[in-house]
Structure 1
Amino acid sequence: MIQFEVIIKAEGGLHARPAALLVNCVAQSQSKVFLIRKQDQKRVDARSILGIMTLGTVQGDQLLIEIDGPDEAQVSEAIRELFEES
């Protein structure tokens, strides 16, 4: 299992567009991916755009990303790139 933290840099948080990009990235993998909002430990499946949207993240929020599966290293790198770009 791989775990790492990211900080939401996007002004609108994880709104519809970045959430959709994340879901598409995760959907191509065989690994289980979860997002955990550090403030309240709310945990959602990263394959669910509705779940991501219910986190209600805003700029500056910290998320813990958990990835577990056969392609976790590749998924981890792809997710890190997504968060760096946004």
Structure 2
Amino acid sequence: MTERNTTIASRVGLHARPAAIFAEAAGNLPLEVTIALEGVPESEAVDASSMLSLMGLGATHGTTVVLRAQGDGADEALDSLVQVLQTDHDAHS
């Protein structure tokens, strides 16, 4: 099992637009990825490709989450998802 911890960068947290972007990225991967708040048991992790599950986490700006995946390409997959979470998708340009 491969695991990554990262912090939510979007100023509104993992909500609406950031959750949709992340869920789509996770859903496009060839393996199953789970996400949970730091400190939550692995058995309570949710499907990272489910927007409703992501929003249900209640992950706000600065919250640390744990991503987990298993199988070929897990390292690269989690690295790409960490980049999505470390981007403030609500920043106004």
Q: TM-score, normalised by structure 1?
A: 0.86
Richer in strand (by share): 1
Tell me the CA shift for residue 39 of structure 1.
4.7
Is the aligned partner of 1:38 residue 2:38? Answer: yes
* Structure 2: gaps (5+ residues): 89-93
Measured at CA, do residues 61 and 39 of structure 1 come closer, stay the same or move farther in structure 2, by a change above 3 Å?
Answer: farther
Aligned-residue Cα RMSD (Å) equals 1.5
State whether residues 8 and 63 of structure 2, in contact with CA within 8 Å, keep that contact through their aligned partners in structure 1.
yes
1:52 aligns with 2:54: yes
8 Å contact from structure 2 (residues 10, 86) kept in 1: no
Q: Is the 8 A contact 2:7 2:86 kept in 1?
A: no
Q: Superposition pairs for residues 1-86 of structure 1, below 5 Å? A: 1-41=1-41, 42-86=44-88
How many residue pairs end up in the alignment?
A: 86
Determine what percentage of the aligned residue pairs are the same residue: 24
Return the offset for 1:67.
1.3
| Aligned AA (1:22) | F
